[in-house]
Amino acid sequence: MYQLVFATNNAHKLEEVAAKIEGRIQLLSLNDINCHDDIAETGTTFRENASIKSHYIYNKYRINCFGDDSGLEIDALNGEPGVYSAHYAGEHGNHAANMAKVLEKLSSEINRTARFRTVISLVWDGEEHFFEGTVEGTIRHELSGTAGFGYDPIFQPDGYNITFAEMTLAEKNQISHRAIAVEKLIEFLKKV
């Protein structure tokens, strides 16, 4: 079985990806390899940030690794919060403040179309490969649901009448942006 490091400290992301991989690969966290470094995401695109993480781990530990960067893109806000999704309201990871800022900015907006986007950078034996996933949807007027994380309580994927935060992990993992990107990653790994 292959060992593969997921360059994240986000327990929710790790749980989602581990559930998707279902034991086909031994998924290691940064904690599992004793990496407690703060990897600065200095890129201006999801692709750049994902690449920074995967290269940092591969270059330091010489172990195959992937990093991801994800975010919410809202059409009426010209793609905001985008690459700045995690710290849109200032403090990194303050989900309540981030959602409040989005809802405030959209308060008088009719167009509420948005998408979640994930880009994965895999460094496998020194070569980089990218996998992307998106899911289209709309931004609700208020929070709904308690599952998931980030913007899940205000994002309703197209074709559903519930938010990501109202879905079980299994339901979300059928359609989410990260799930789509991870499926592409798994397909690639089946061939190596």
Q: Are 97 and 127 in contact (CB under 8 A)?
A: no
Cis peptide before 81 (omega within 30 of 0): yes
| Pair type for strands 26-28 and 3-6 | parallel
69 assigned to active site: yes
Catalytic residue among 37, 38, 68, 69: 69
Q: Which residue has the tokens 């581990």?
A: 18
Q: Are 189 and 20 in contact (CB under 8 A)?
A: no
Q: How far apart are the first and last CA of the chain?
A: 12
Rg, the chain, Cα only: 16
Would you please indicate which residues are annotated as catalytic (active-site) residues? Answer: 69
